């Protein structure tokens, strides 16, 4: 969930030059078929600390892309992932408090012909994000990303030429006790007229769109049940009004925002046609990922797998080009221990901690559709084969024979326990299936027999568990 910041956007206050010329032309052409969806490439740069920590979770990135596309869907604009997510590990960029460092980051890692978006931990002015005009790239901080936030939508709106609805009030605070001015000085080099509540001067004042009402609120603000500002403002003519919080280019909180205006939509589409046409993907997009359930191949649920030889495999899913794999110690994935993106329908994992139960799930996606659902969770247990017959200090045992003749399939377990310890013995086939189990309430110092009748010749794993520890031995029935 996105966190509301007092300063939502640190984009500079210069009015977009292209838009100024566009809106001043009463005979401006309409360049695009209103029913045609335009697809634009987007590249995500995940910025972490120099030690590799702090990255925004991949799952949350995909949720944010889905939210971005949901917000723009009514306006016939969609975005697709052009490249793999780019990983950047540098403290200087992870927490950057000035635009100079941000610009250097953008120049260093910029990908051509795409909307470069950098996910960082902080941004200048403690803002949620910004669009850097000269570098033509976007920053959004982690706390303002997510499936419930619209900061990315707001910044992409800037990339598509839109100013704030309150243009001219950036870095200024509306004061109801002072007379509202008729105009503002912008960066000491331009003048912005203050829009009146009746919109008489809408084409030359504020954001210069005539279907976005007057707005003077430049800090994050809440709305009422009709999505208007709680704060009443007074225009230069003395007329009271409330700002419209439903517009993505305002500074209302995320829960208020839901739309662009018709004029904003026309401007964005025409900007794409006249200024960014070289970035439009005219190819037929990959279809949506199938909503049919996915099928796991291996491991089977609760299978025992060696902690250094873990292969996850699933059936290929229609229209999927990549898969997001989550691994967690919790069945509800409240925290993620490992997260991977793979192109094929299997992956080999390095070492995982021994004697743990792990849960895994897979989300299929492609560049155009990252909004599908995860599979149901599968599970497996990790083990290691030990040569030391010791559960814990002062609690020893001996297992023999480990090469078991089929004509006398009996294993002897000689316990030498100094403590009262209940013990569970489980025997698994190499495919992970439990084939035999036994329980000893308190073996102490005793010799116990485990009979392996009716088992086929082959390799088995015997797991002996107590609250003080676990060991696994390899058993072979000849």
Nearest to 289 by CA among 260, 336, 322: 322
**Co-location of 336 and 368 in the same domain:** yes
Could you give the 3-state DSSP secondary structure of residue 296?
A: strand
Domain hosting residue 372, numbered range: 296-383
Residue 326 lies in a domain: yes
**Co-location of 103 and 29 in the same domain:** yes
**Co-location of 450 and 338 in the same domain:** no
**Co-location of 269 and 329 in the same domain:** no
**Co-location of 312 and 453 in the same domain:** no
Instruction: Tell which of 225, 250, 279 closes a domain.
Output: 279
Q: What is the CA radius of gyration of the chain?
A: 31
Q: What is the CATH number of the domain that holds 275?
A: 3.40.390.10
**Co-location of 406 and 371 in the same domain:** no
**Co-location of 36 and 143 in the same domain:** yes
**Co-location of 129 and 271 in the same domain:** yes
Residue 285 lies in a domain: no
Q: What is the CATH number of the domain that holds 464?
A: 2.60.40.1930
Domain count, the chain: 3
**Co-location of 115 and 149 in the same domain:** yes
Residue 46 lies in a domain: yes
Check residue 1 and give its pLDDT: 39
Q: Which one-letter DSSP state was computed for residue 468? A: T
Could you tell me which residues are beta bridge partners of residue 186?
190
Token pair 């360049």 is found at 31
**Co-location of 447 and 350 in the same domain:** no
Residue 325 lies in a domain: yes
Q: What is the CATH number of the domain that holds 363?
A: 2.60.40.10
Separation in Å, CA 384 to CA 8, 50, 310, 464: 51, 33, 12, 12
**Co-location of 130 and 42 in the same domain:** yes
Q: How far apart are CA 413 and CA 48, in angstroms?
A: 51
Residue 191 · residue 212 · CB < 8 Å: no
Q: Which helix (H) or strand (E) holds 342?
A: strand 338-342
Residue 391 · residue 424 · CB < 8 Å: no
Check residue 201 and give its pLDDT: 96
Q: How far apart are CA 220 and CA 252, in angstroms?
A: 5
Nearest to 375 by CA among 296, 318, 277: 296
Instruction: Tell which of 315, 350, 383 closes a domain.
Output: 383
Residue 129 · residue 9 · CB < 8 Å: yes
Check residue 387 and give its pLDDT: 55
**Co-location of 38 and 123 in the same domain:** yes
Residue 245 lies in a domain: no
Residue 240 lies in a domain: no
Residue 308 lies in a domain: yes
Computed from CA positions of residues 184, 187, 191, 197, in that sequence, does the dihedral angle turn out positive or negative? negative
Instruction: Tell which of 358, 383, 408 closes a domain.
Output: 383
> Consecutive sets of 10 residues in the chain, 478 residues long: mean pLDDT of each?
61 88 83 80 98 95 96 97 96 97 98 98 96 96 94 98 96 93 81 92 96 96 97 97 98 97 96 94 85 92 85 94 96 94 92 88 95 94 70 80 85 88 89 88 90 89 86 84
Q: Which helix (H) or strand (E) holds 416?
A: strand 410-417
Separation in Å, CA 433 to CA 38, 58, 311: 52, 33, 16
Residue 361 lies in a domain: yes
């Amino acid at each position: 969930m996105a966190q509301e910041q007092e300063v939502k956007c640190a984009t500079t206050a210069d009015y977009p030059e292209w838009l100024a010329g566009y809106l001043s032309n009463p005979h401006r052409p309409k360049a695009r078929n209103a029913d045609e969806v335009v697809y634009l490439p987007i590249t995500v740069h995940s910025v972490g600390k120099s030690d590799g920590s702090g990255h925004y979770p991949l799952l949350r990135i995909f949720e944010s892309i889905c939210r971005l596309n949901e917000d723009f869907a009514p306006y016939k604009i969609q975005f697709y992932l052009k490249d793999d997510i780019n990983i950047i590990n540098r403290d200087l960029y992870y927490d950057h408090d000035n635009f100079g460092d941000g610009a250097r980051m953008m120049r260093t890692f910029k990908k051509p012909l795409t909307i470069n978006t950098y996910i960082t931990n902080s941004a200048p002015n403690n803002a949620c994000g910004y669009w850097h005009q000269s570098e033509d790239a976007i920053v959004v901080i982690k706390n303002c990303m997510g499936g419930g936030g619209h900061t990315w939508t707001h910044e992409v709106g800037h990339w598509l030429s839109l100013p704030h609805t309150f243009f001219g009030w950036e870095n200024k605070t509306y004061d109801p006790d002072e007379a509202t001015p008729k105009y503002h000085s912008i960066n000491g080099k331009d003048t912005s007229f203050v829009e009146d509540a009746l919109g008489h001067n809408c084409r030359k004042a504020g954001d210069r769109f005539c279907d976005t009402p007057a707005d003077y609120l430049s800090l994050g603000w809440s709305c009422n049940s009709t999505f208007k500002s709680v704060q009443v403002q007074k225009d230069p003519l003395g007329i009271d009004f409330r700002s419209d919080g439903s517009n993505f280019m305002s500074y209302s909180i995320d829960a208020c925002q839901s739309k662009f205006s018709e004029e904003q939509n026309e401007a964005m589409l025409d900007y794409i046609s006249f200024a960014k046409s070289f970035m439009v993907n005219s190819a037929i997009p990959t279809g949506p990922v199938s909503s049919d359930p996915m099928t796991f191949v291996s491991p089977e649920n609760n299978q025992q797998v060696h902690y250094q030889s873990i292969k996850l495999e699933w059936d290929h899913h229609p229209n999927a080009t990549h898969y997001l794999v989550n691994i967690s110690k919790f069945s509800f994935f409240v925290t993620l221990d490992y997260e991977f993106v793979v192109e094929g329908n299997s992956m080999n994992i390095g070492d995982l901690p021994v004697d743990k139960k792990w849960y895994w799930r897979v989300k299929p996606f492609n560049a155009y559709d990252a909004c599908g659902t995860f599979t149901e969770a599968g599970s497996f247990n990790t083990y290691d084969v030990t040569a030391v017959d010791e559960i814990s200090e002062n609690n020893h045992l001996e297992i023999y024979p480990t090469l078991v003749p089929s004509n006398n399939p009996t294993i002897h377990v000689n316990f030498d326990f100094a403590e009262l310890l209940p013990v569970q013995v489980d025997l698994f086939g190499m495919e992970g299936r439990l084939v035999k189990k036994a329980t000893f309430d308190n073996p102490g110092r005793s010799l116990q027999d485990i009979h392996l009748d009716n088992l086929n010749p082959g390799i088995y794993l015997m797991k002996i568990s107590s609250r003080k520890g676990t060991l696994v031995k390899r058993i072979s029935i000849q």
